[in-house]
Amino acid sequence: MGKKYEALTEINELLQLCEVMRQDILANENKYINYKNPTYAIYKEKVVAFVQKHNIEKLYREQYSLINEYYYNSRTWSLNLKEIDILAKVILELKQKLCKDAKNKIFISHSEKDKTSVDLFIELLHAIGVPHPTQNTEEKYIFCSSHPDYYIENGHLNKIKVKAELQNQDTFFVLWYTDNYFNSPCCLNEVGAIWVNNRDYQEILEPDFDSTNIKGLLDNQPVWFRADDKYRLNDFKNQVVTMFGLDMPSENHWEQSRDKFIKRLKELRS
């Protein structure tokens, strides 16, 4: 793994530590954490190593000054929720600068009629290492309007939320192709937006879908693969691990999860 993806892994770890500290603050009646908080101690150790390793002080002085501002190694020092959110925002800025081709989210463009098979695919993404959402996590790694963990909250307009996600440069798009997909005006609108905005995407075909029915604005290059192609799923797994800076899942865990996914897809068609 190159230096860029080492940085991505380290940044993701720092963001996770920020999220844990955020949850600790929410659970604290005083609404702050101090030097006694074990996660804050780990964060300070790792952020100092990260700053030194990637020369942040020299290359990104604005971000360095903010990170350094909330570091002081003092028994009187504490962090509140606003300060944690500032830290997380600054670390995200560094992620964009250091890892420009990294992704923050996967958008699954699909027909709600294919919800069952897409749910299986989401389980596979989690097996690769894409994190599950937590109760207090505002930003989720997957956008999928039909899954209970990821659907749009009550009171939010669907078209506004989808439009915002489609404009996110740090999103990777998965297009889940079925006959239902190409009979859905909403899905075809999403394809058009992905094309117009020149976003990175992967087309995945359900096993029985006829590839000659693929139509729309995207180019006709053979970038798709079938959802039961274990070798292409292996390549996809490596792609996701790289984009998100994840730890590579063990070979046994991955193969069991992949084969279970393929088996369950086959059962849906029987």
pLDDT tens-digit profile of 219-245?
Answer: 655 578 999 999 999 999 999 988 888
107-137 tens-digit pLDDT: 999 999 999 999 999 999 999 999 887 665 5
| 192 and 153 fall within a common domain | yes
Q: In this structure, are 86 and 112 located in the same domain?
A: no
Residue 81 sits in the same domain as residue 111: no
Residue type at 63?
Answer: Q
Same domain, yes or no, for 115 and 160? yes
Rounded to 5 degrees, φ, ψ at 33 are -125, 155
Same domain? For 152 and 257 the reply is yes
Query: Are both 91 and 110 inside the same structural domain?
Result: no
Count of positions (residues) in the chain: 270
Q: Which domain holds residue 75?
A: 3-98
pLDDT in single tens digits along all 270 residues of the chain: 445 667 888 888 898 899 899 999 998 888 898 888 999 989 989 999 999 999 999 999 999 998 887 765 556 678 899 999 999 999 988 988 888 777 878 999 999 999 999 999 999 999 999 988 766 555 578 888 654 443 444 334 466 677 777 777 778 999 999 999 999 988 888 888 888 888 889 999 999 999 888 876 666 555 789 999 999 999 999 999 888 888 889 999 999 999 999 999 999 987
Look up residue 196 and give its amino acid.
V
State the pLDDT at residue 207.
94
**58 contacts 66 by C-beta, under 8 angstroms:** no
Domain harbouring 118, CATH code: 3.40.50.10140
Question: Of 46, 64, 98, which one is at a domain's C-terminal end?
Answer: 98
Cβ(141)–Cβ(165) under 8 Å?
Answer: no
User: Are 165 and 45 within one domain?
Assistant: no
Contact by Cβ (8 Å): 18, 88: yes
Considering the domain architecture, whether residues 9 and 117 belong to the same structural domain is answered as: no
Q: Are residues 91 and 113 in the same domain?
A: no
Q: Which amino acid is at 199?
A: R
Distances from the Cα of 141 to the Cαs of 171, 224, 250, in angstroms?
9, 22, 21
User: To the nearest 10°, the Cα dihedral for 88, 90, 91, 94?
Assistant: 160
- Per-residue model confidence (pLDDT) at position 153: 44
Examine the fold and report which residue of 64, 98, 132 is the final residue of a domain before the chain moves on.
98
- Residue that is last in its domain, among 98, 129, 147: 98
CA distance 202 to 207: 15
Residues 126 and 229 in one domain: yes
β-bridge partners, 143: 107
- Together in a domain, 244 and 148: yes
**Rounded Cα–Cα distance for residues 134 and 19 (Å):** 10
Is 249 found in the same domain as 133? yes
Task: Please state the domain count of the chain.
Answer: 2
